[in-house]
Structure formats: C-alpha cells, structure tokens
Amino acid sequence: MRALVYRLNDLEGMRQMEVNRLDVSDASVVASIERVIATLDAQIKAVRKEINDHIDSDPDLRRDRELLVSIPGIADTTAAYMLACLGDLRRFSEPGKLDAFVGMNPAVRESGRWKGKTMLSRLGNALFRGKLFMPAMVAVRYCARMRAFYERLIGRGKPKKVALVAAMRKLLHIAWGVVRSGRPFDPDLAIAG
C-alpha cells in the first residue's frame, strides 16, 4: 500500500507540472500536454482504485479508514496516506511518540549562549507532514472546536502558521485517539486545550 500511495503522490506531482506547463506553453504543444494530462488522470484514477480496493480487502484497514474519515478534515485520500505512511496507529503508546515519528515534535535550536527558536524537528516522514496541511485547514474552517482551538492560539499572539501547525498536530492526536479507542470522532471529547 505504501508503494501505491507514493506512486499516487508522484502521479499527482507530474500532473501538476503538466498543468503548469499548459499555462505557459506555445499553442503548438498544447494538444500534446493535454494528452499527457488525460493519461495521468487515468493513471491517478486507477491507482486510487487500487488503494481503495486494497483497503476494502483488509477488514482492519477498512475499520481504521472508517474511523479516520469520521474526523473533520480527513477524507479517503488523507486516511490512505495515514494508513500507508504511519502503519497501525495503535503501536504508538502515546501521541507524543506519533509526533516524533512524523517529525512534528518540537526541537529547540540552541548552542552555548545562543538561544534559537523552537521549531519542528522534521525528522519524520516529510510526505505525510505535507499531506496534513490541507486537512488541518479544512478542520480549522469547518470544525467549530478546531476553529476555537486555532483562534485561541491566534489570540495568544501566535502567528497563523504556528497555529496551523498546532492544528496539524492536534489532528494527528485526534486520529491517534480515534483509532486507539475504536470509536468515531466525537467533537465533545476530542479537542481540549
């Protein structure tokens, strides 16, 4: 499944490159670029079907996907990336270990007397971290509790980007909790702090 998810990411990247070329290309090559885009669209559709078939054929993966898509902001594609890149979330005994695995744990940058900033460690799976960005934006926009969490951070003077990264971590923690508990997302239980 990991190979399929990485292939999907590659195909989507290639499609975006061709779309970008289409905007600036000479009229003589537009038809060729459009054919390549159509071919990539067909490949993307086929790989997505393979991913869904793989998940549907395994009862554990299917159960975990259903739990993950109950979370606002996480849809089938993000759930597939999560299942492929992270494996079974139950293997992490606490959400902080999942943060470290993904590379979303804080890392203090300092040396001697120099005091730097606290940033993400970025030691984990960069592809997956990138795939959490849009789901976090959707959750902040459409989930009242997540929006309140985000706005509370903004109200404390945090920059919007920092607040969004905190929302990404919160989404990861919620996913961990939902899968570990085996219960669908409940906004009254999920978001505190």
Residue 191 has pLDDT above 90, yes or no: no
The two tokens of residue 104 are 């979303």
- pLDDT tens per residue across span 133-184: 999 999 999 988 899 999 999 999 988 988 998 999 999 999 999 999 999 9
Contact 106, 119 (CB under 8 A): yes
Q: Delimit the domains of the chain by residue range.
A: 90-193
Residue 74 · residue 81 · CB < 8 Å: no
Half-sphere exposure of 124 (CA within 13 A, CB side): 20
Reported as a single tens digit per residue, the pLDDT across 99-134 is: 888 888 776 666 667 666 666 656 777 888 889 999
**pLDDT value of residue 125:** 79
